Structure 1
């Protein structure tokens, strides 16, 4: 069974799309709230450990980090 962690911030429509898709697919996920307003995604640590492009949302599937909402949604739909 896959494990999911969603790095998100509540105001993001793309974060909402991924959370909704996971929920509708019956998948549980760990939400990882990200303080986007304080520009945490701009920090070297974020870019080194979460997403080199500094983008959000990021979905971790079994530890593998996926970015870009549309491709993630397509992958979830295919599963």
Structure 2
């Protein structure tokens, strides 16, 4: 693991220290790691949402019924291994 040094104004340092206490973090590093992790998760969620919207807008919709699922199941069971 590497270390990163950052400079904070006095007011920002005070704010971070208060968040560490309020959040029950063991250290400022733990607090910052949690913030970074939350940001990564938020960005991943945004990416998933963009992909879902892209999929929804990618073509004509179809009605997915029990019959459709049965046909899909039969197709996948009978599909040659090279195509899988």
Identify, as 1 or 2, the structure richer in strand. Answer: 1
TM-score between the two structures when normalised by the length of structure 2: 0.19
- Tell which has more relative contact order, 1 or 2 (C-alpha 8 A, sep 6+): 1
Larger radius of gyration: 2
TM-score between the two structures when normalised by the length of structure 1: 0.20
